[in-house]
């Protein structure tokens, strides 16, 4: 693990405006920077970066946080990957926490595999561009496929020389250890010696989401060679073919921005589509689609369009992957190409606009696609049609959402000309086989069995949660300020009536809030606000202030998001240049005492409301008149207190 001292150094050194400036065009706006959102399509700026506070906020999507949060959101890095990226950018040496010898050896070995693959990619790329064999064979092949030099370089494509041990000898000469060359699969060694696995092949580097090279795909170019046309790296500590997608690193930004992923079969399909302007595309690299690969896409979007060849084998392959995608709760469509065409060949002969239109117009909902395809094979045979209906219902049963299930069943019933009641029964039977709970619904006019999740009551946020956020906001912005407060004292007079007295006190805002909440024995409802409140109070008590640039260094993105929302909420007007239009935003500093008092009084009022509600509920459960009278007295006391608070707030009950 990365040491705390390294993490602190990264945060102290990294400048949010510099890092984000690598990805977003920023313009100065007062003390901040603004730009177009990198997370949505827009024409007017809604993205703000605060160098002073070292945070950013995207008002169009609601996202925000510190510099690490930006890399996690925009580049889809994990927390450690984001820290390592920043450390590398600012030349910070990463110090690891104390590891056992075994853990250190394992981490070092894994890193060595990555370094070997990185070297191999560079070597294969140099072969392609700098050696006569590479240019004559490898480069010529890529040019024949229609790839430009810019595209070839962008994807880091390469070529392994025909000589059986060229790479092996070159790598040893450069100081790379033989065991790592073998473990990555770049070299095969047996009794007859060492042989380069990918000799005589063009190479497609396969990168992780973070851009590290995990393995290679190689295509043989010789028509007479008695070996597989395509060859992938073998399984290793860093490469598992069921958990990687070709093109995920190059396409992740486009997928997230479009909220859509095109899924194809081969390496060249990805490259050709990318070159044609369709950048939100990945490939399963010729292997059967797996749940791990689908979950990788789901990190970026919930929408997949599967692109397959127009031949029967390609269409059947599309069906095999549909159920897996549905099981992951994804929205899936299918797009096939004219017979004899595949994504690569079709994209090569189309303009970007024509290709984009074809993909949008030809993409079919999976139920339409599967029904149309399977009906062709029934030939009006009732037995085959029944089997087709059952196969479609099996796919619908994979969908986690019962509402989507019902919609698809009705759609299927209309298309297949079969009653909804029969399909609902078939679905119930299918899901009962899968050991899922059965529910009762009434499709059309008949009552049928179907699966139903227990309906949950609509959750309405308590007003107290809003007030908790308001208190956190006040503490962050004005906690260290000293202000005048009109202290409300409520006491009972000699006749037992509640009366109010007030006096003005001068104290720091955080002390006022802390003492008032402690007096009322209040604990925040929202766990995130409770945690932030504890951190804020600890900071004030130990240091007498909050350093925002330190406070935003939250490892939990949810906390970072809350802090960013609060810190930059008052500065959103800068995006609209209101001052230039002679519209001036009133500063809250001038009325912080009133703001604190009103918030706490309102907080208390809602607490009293909850107490009154609780007492009335208890009164209903009491059977005796004496018990009810006791509860009634308590309720009257709280109602009197509530009336005084409402009066203080100038509100009418």
What is the tens place of the pLDDT at every residue in 536-592? 887 887 777 777 767 777 767 778 778 888 877 756 555 555 445 444 444 555 577
Full residue range of the structural domain in which residue 444 is found: 381-450
Rounded to the nearest 10 degrees, what angle do helices 509-519 and 463-478 cross at? 150
Q: Which helix (H) or strand (E) holds 117?
A: helix 101-130
Domain end position, chosen among 34, 58, 89 = 89
Q: What is the pLDDT of residues 482-527, one digit of tens each?
A: 887 766 565 666 666 666 666 777 778 888 787 777 766 667 878 8
Based on the fold, state whether residues 554 and 615 are members of the same structural domain.
Answer: yes
More confident residue, 59 or 217: 217
Task: Give the predicted TM-score (pTM) of the model.
Answer: 0.63
Let me know the angle formed at the C-alpha of 244 by 240 and 247, rounded to the nearest 5 degrees. 145
More confident residue, 643 or 420: 420
Based on the fold, state whether residues 201 and 332 are members of the same structural domain.
Answer: no
Sign of CA dihedral 448, 452, 454, 456: negative
Based on the fold, state whether residues 308 and 399 are members of the same structural domain.
Answer: no
Number of domains composing the chain: 5
Let me know the angle formed at the C-alpha of 296 by 102 and 399, rounded to the nearest 5 degrees. 125
Based on the fold, state whether residues 488 and 385 are members of the same structural domain.
Answer: no
How far apart, in whole angstroms, are the C-alpha atoms of residue 235 and residue 240? 5
Q: Which residue has the tokens 């790479």?
A: 167
79 domain-assigned: yes
Let me know the angle formed at the C-alpha of 492 by 491 and 496, rounded to the nearest 5 degrees. 170
Domain end position, chosen among 362, 397, 425 = 362
How far apart, in whole angstroms, are the C-alpha atoms of residue 168 and residue 116? 11
Share of the chain residues as helix, strand and coil, in percent rounded to the nearest 5:
55, 15, 30
How far apart, in whole angstroms, are the C-alpha atoms of residue 592 and residue 587? 10
Domain end position, chosen among 206, 223, 239 = 239
Based on the fold, state whether residues 357 and 437 are members of the same structural domain.
Answer: no
458 domain-assigned: no
Based on the fold, state whether residues 601 and 521 are members of the same structural domain.
Answer: yes
When mean pLDDT is compared across 25-29, 93-97, 237-241, the lowest value belongs to: 93-97
Helices (H), 397-508: 402-416, 420-433, 463-478
Neighbours of 642 (CB within 10 A): 19
Based on the fold, state whether residues 250 and 207 are members of the same structural domain.
Answer: no
Q: Which residue has the tokens 């409402």?
A: 646
Based on the fold, state whether residues 254 and 296 are members of the same structural domain.
Answer: yes
580 domain-assigned: no
Based on the fold, state whether residues 229 and 260 are members of the same structural domain.
Answer: no
The token duo for 644 is 């005084």
pLDDT confidence of residue 130: 94
How far apart, in whole angstroms, are the C-alpha atoms of residue 281 and residue 263? 6
End-to-end Cα distance, the chain: 57
Based on the fold, state whether residues 287 and 189 are members of the same structural domain.
Answer: no
Based on the fold, state whether residues 519 and 638 are members of the same structural domain.
Answer: yes
148 domain-assigned: yes
How far apart, in whole angstroms, are the C-alpha atoms of residue 323 and residue 334? 12
Based on the fold, state whether residues 205 and 131 are members of the same structural domain.
Answer: yes
In Å, how far from its chain's centre is CA 570? 27
Cα atoms in the Cβ-side hemisphere of radius 13 Å centred on 530: 7
How far apart, in whole angstroms, are the C-alpha atoms of residue 452 and residue 602? 41
């Amino acid at each position: 693990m990365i040491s705390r001292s390294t993490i602190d150094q990264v945060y102290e050194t990294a400048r949010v405006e510099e890092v984000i400036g690598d990805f977003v065009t920023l313009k100065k706006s007062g003390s901040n920077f603004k730009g177009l959102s990198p997370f949505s399509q827009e024409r007017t700026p809604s993205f703000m970066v605060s160098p002073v506070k070292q945070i950013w906020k995207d008002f169009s999507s609601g996202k925000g946080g510190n510099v690490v949060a930006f890399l996690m959101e925009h580049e889809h890095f994990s927390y450690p990957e984001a820290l390592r990226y920043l450390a590398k950018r600012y030349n910070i040496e990463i110090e690891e926490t104390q590891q056992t010898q075994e853990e250190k050896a394992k981490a070092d070995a894994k890193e060595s595999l990555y370094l070997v693959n990185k070297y191999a990619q560079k070597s294969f790329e140099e072969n392609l561009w700098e050696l006569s064999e590479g240019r004559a064979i490898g480069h010529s092949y890529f040019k024949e496929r229609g790839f430009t030099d810019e595209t070839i370089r962008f994807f880091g494509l390469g070529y392994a020389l025909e000589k059986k041990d060229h790479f092996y000898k070159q790598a040893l000469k450069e100081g790379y250890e033989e065991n790592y060359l073998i473990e990555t699969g770049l070299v095969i060694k047996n009794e007859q010696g060492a042989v380069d696995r990918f000799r005589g092949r063009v190479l497609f580097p396969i990168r992780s989401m973070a851009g590290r090279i995990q393995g290679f795909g190689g295509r043989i170019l010789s028509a007479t060679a008695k070996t597989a046309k395509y060859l992938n790296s073998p399984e290793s500590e860093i490469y598992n073919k069921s958990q990687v997608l070709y093109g995920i690193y190059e396409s992740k930004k486009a997928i997230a921005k479009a909220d859509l992923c095109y899924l194809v079969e081969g390496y060249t399909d990805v490259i050709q589509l990318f070159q044609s302007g369709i950048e939100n595309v990945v490939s399963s690299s010729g292997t059967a689609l797996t749940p791990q690969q689908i979950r990788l896409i789901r990190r970026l979007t919930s929408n997949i369009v599967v692109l397959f060849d127009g031949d029967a084998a390609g269409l059947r392959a599309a069906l095999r992957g549909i159920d897996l995608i549905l099981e992951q709760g994804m929205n899936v469509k299918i797009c096939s190409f004219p017979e004899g065409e595949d994504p690569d060949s079709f994209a090569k002969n189309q303009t970007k606009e024509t290709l984009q239109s074809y993909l949008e117009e030809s993409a079919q909902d999976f139920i339409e696609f599967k029904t149309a395809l399977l009906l062709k094979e029934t030939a009006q045979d009732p037995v085959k049609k029944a089997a087709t209906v059952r196969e479609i219902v099996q796919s619908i049963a994979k969908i986690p959402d019962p509402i989507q299930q019902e919609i698809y069943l009705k759609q299927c019933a209309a298309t297949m000309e079969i009653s909804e009641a029969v399909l609902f029964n078939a679905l119930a039977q299918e899901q009962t086989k899968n050991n899922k709970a059965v529910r009762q619904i009434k499709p059309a006019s008949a009552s049928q069995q179907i699966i139903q999740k227990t309906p949950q009551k609509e959750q309405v946020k308590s007003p107290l949660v809003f007030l908790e956020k308001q208190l956190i906001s006040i503490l962050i912005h004005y906690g260290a300020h000293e202000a005048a407060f009109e202290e409300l004292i409520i006491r009972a007079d000699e006749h037992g009536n509640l009366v109010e007295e007030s006096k003005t006190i001068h104290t720091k805002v955080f002390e006022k809030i802390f003492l008032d909440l402690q007096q009322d024995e209040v604990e925040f409802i929202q766990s995130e606000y409770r945690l932030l409140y504890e951190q804020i109070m600890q900071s004030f008590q130990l240091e007498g202030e909050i350093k925002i640039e330190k406070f935003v260094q939250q490892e939990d993105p949810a906390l970072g998001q809350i802090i960013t929302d609060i810190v930059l909420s008052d500065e959103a007007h800068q995006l609209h240049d209101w001052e230039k239009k002679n519209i001036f935003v009133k500063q809250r500093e001038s009325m912080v005492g009133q703001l604190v008092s009103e918030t706490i009084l309102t907080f208390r009022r809602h607490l009293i409301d909850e107490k009154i509600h609780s007492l009335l509920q208890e009164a209903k459960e009491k059977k005796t008149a004496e018990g009810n009278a006791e509860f009634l007295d308590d309720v009257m006391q709280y109602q009197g207190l509530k009336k005084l608070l409402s009066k203080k707030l100038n509100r009418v009950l």
